[in-house]
Structure 1
Amino acid sequence: MTRPADFWNAVYDNDTAPWVIGEPQPAIVELEREGWISGRVLDPGCGAGEHTILLTELGYNVRGIDMSPSAVAYARANAVTQGVPTAAFEVADALTLSDRPDFAGDPPGSAPAFDTIVDSALFHVFGTEDEARAAYVRSLHAVCKPGGTVHVLALSDAEPGFGPRISDTLIRDSFGDGWTIEDLRPARYRGRVTEAVTQEAAQLDVAESGQVDVAAWLARIRRL
Structure 2
Amino acid sequence: MQPTPGSRPPTSHERRAGQPWNSSYIDGPAPWDIGAPQPAVVRLAEAGGFCGPVLDVGCGTGDNALFIAARGLPVLGVDVAETALATARQSADDRGLDADFAMADALHLQRLYRRFETVLDCGLFHTFDESERTEYVTSLASVIDPGGTLYILCFNETGPHPVTEQALTAPFADDPAWHLSTVTPETLRTRFADTTPAWLATIKRRA
1:165 counterpart (155, 162, 170): 162
Q: Is the counterpart of residue 219 in structure 1 residue 197 in structure 2?
A: no
1:154 aligns with 2:154: yes
Q: For residues 53-132 of structure 1, what are the structure 2 equivalents within 5 Å?
A: 53-81=66-94, 83-101=95-113, 103=114, 113-126=115-128, 129-132=129-132
Partner of 1:189: 188
Shift of 1:132: 1.2
Deviation at 1:2, TM superposition (A): 3.0
Structure 1: runs of 5 or more not aligned: 104-112, 194-210
Q: Deviations over 1:135-182 (max 9, x none)?
A: 11001001101100000000111x3x43x1211111110112211111
8 Å Cα contact 1:76/1:85 also seen in 2: no
Give the Cα–Cα distance (whole angstroms) in 1 for the partners of residues 120 and 96 of structure 2.
19
SS in 1 for 2:89: helix
Shift of residue 48, structure 1, vs aligned partner: 1.2
Pairing 1:14–2:16 present: no
The question of whether the paired residues in 1 share the 8 Å contact of 2:22 and 2:80 is answered with no
**1:212 partner SS:** coil
How far 1:212 sits from its partner (Å)?
A: 2.6
Mean Cα displacement is larger for which, 17-26 or 6-15? 6-15
- The one-letter amino acid of 1:93's match is D
Structural mapping, 1:29-40, within 5 Å: 29-40=42-53
C-alpha distance in 2 between matches for 1:100 and 1:73: 19
Residues 16 and 55 (structure 1), Cα distance of their counterparts in 2 relative to 1, 3 Å cut: closer
Percent of residue pairs bearing the same amino acid type: 36
**Structure 2 counterpart of 1:169, one-letter code:** Q
Q: Which of the residues 166, 171, 174 maps onto 2:171?
A: 174
Q: Deviations over 1:69-124 (max 9, x none)?
A: 1111121123234x1343210111111111332x2xxxxxxxxx100001100111
Query: Deviation digits for residues 25-84 of structure 1, max 9, x if unmatched?
Result: 000110011111112100000001011111111100110000111111121123234x13
Distance in 2 of aligned mates of 1:84 and 1:118:
22
Report the residue type matching 2:170 in the other structure: D
Runs (4+) of structure 1 exceeding 6 A deviation are none
- Aligned residue for 2:101, secondary structure, equals strand
TM-score (norm: length of structure 1): 0.80
Larger Rg: 1
**Structure 2, unaligned stretches of length 5 or more?**
1-11
Q: Which amino acid aligns with 2:143?
A: V
In the alignment, the residues of structure 2 paired with residue 22 and residue 80 of structure 1 have an alpha-carbon distance, to the nearest angstrom, of: 16
